[in-house]
Structures are given as C-alpha cells and as structure tokens.
Amino acid sequence: MGYIVETPYAYPALTVRENLEIFRKLRGIKDKKCVDWIIDKLKLENYASRKVKHLSLGNAQRLGIAKALIHKPQILILDEPTNGLDPAGIVEVRELLQELVRDSGATVFISSHKLDEISKIATNIAIIHEGKLIKEINASQLEKQLKKSLVLEIQSEDALKNPEKVIKLLVNEGYPETVLKVEKEDLETYFLRTIKEAGGGLGE
C-alpha cells in the first residue's frame, strides 16, 4: 500500500534522492534502480540533488507522490495529490496513475476537491457531504446523468428577440457566423446538484 495525505512530508535537510533512498530501504526494496525510475517518472531529475526545504510546493508534491509509488503498490491512497502542481504537472500525474492502473492493476483511491480532475480519471465516484455518503456512481452512469444544454451564440438583436425564427434567419438572412455547441454539467455542478436534491445544505 502507498499513500499521501495532503501535505507531502519529507526530511527537509536531505536531498530528493536521499529521501527516496531512505524510503527504498524502509520499503525493503533491494533494487536500487527504483530510485532512478521514480525520479524519472515524476520528472525530478533536475532536483534530485536539491534539499527538500528548497523545493517549490509543486516539486515537494511530486516527491510525496514518488514516495507513495516507489514500491509499486497494489493499493494507493491519495489525498489531494495534485496540490501545488501546474496544469502540465496535473496531466503528468493523471497519466502516471492511469499507467499504474493499466500496467499493474493497482487500485487507486483519490480524495479531492478538484472535481473536474476527478471526473477525468475516476472509474467510480463517491460523493460525501458532511461525513455522509450521498451518492455512488460509475463513470458511464455519470456521463448519462450530467445535464446537457444547447448553446447558440448569435450577433443579432433581431434574432435574439425572435428565437423561434433563429434558424431560418441564420440560414436565409445572412446573419454573421455563429457558434453552435452542446454543453453539459461538470462534476462540480453535478456534485452540488446531488447534494441539493438529497436535501443537504452546502455548509462551509
């Protein structure tokens, strides 16, 4: 089992590599190459010799994830695993977790307030509010339950005042180019709607 609980604790006076070496020994891993492997996986090569106290929040988070993954666990528990990461880093961690699941069959539990990110990776989602389980749903069910709406962007006051004639006006009257798209709820909106429908308040 591997885990990271929000704050990625490490020995601040030691380097990234030294921290990982300690965890390698604590995990009883004989293969020393695993340190190089996880440093490469989390893109920490340029920081391997840097003391942890001098790392940015994002790289400290990468180190925390590296410690959780170094022994290739079958069960991984992650609390806010992408804290402090830039958009590229978030994508890299997402792909790493998907690779871990795909290649080793590991089970990953993620607790996060970044619901949009969760919706991109989770196969099963549990919505918890005020300590109570409000909803359990899998990814395919979620896709069906997210509300969708049709959005039509136009550049004409006349068309706006006569919506029933919009299509005819656009096609026949030469109105400026429009954007027609289907929009759907994101997981955050679904989460809030589910809580409301269950009779729960939003709280603090």
pTM of model > 0.75? no
Total H helices, total E strands in the chain = 9, 7
Instruction: Report pLDDT for 204.
Output: 41
- Which of 57, 103, 105 shows the shortest CA–CA distance to 83? 57
Instruction: Report pLDDT for 149.
Output: 75
Residue 94 banded pLDDT, cuts 50, 70, 90: confident
Alpha helices for the chain (secondary structure H): 16-26, 33-41, 57-69, 87-104, 115-121, 139-145, 157-161, 166-172, 187-197
Q: Please, are residues 135 and 127 in contact by the beta-carbon 8 Å criterion?
A: yes
Question: What mean pLDDT is predicted for residues 123-141?
Answer: 90
Residue 24 has pLDDT above 60, yes or no: yes
Residue 16 has pLDDT above 60, yes or no: yes
Q: What is the largest CA-CA distance in the chain?
A: 75
Q: Higher model confidence: residue 191 or residue 13? A: 13
- Which of 112, 184, 121 shows the shortest CA–CA distance to 147? 184
The two three-digit tokens of residue 204, written as one number: 């603090």
Q: How many CB atoms lie within 10 A of CB 112?
A: 17
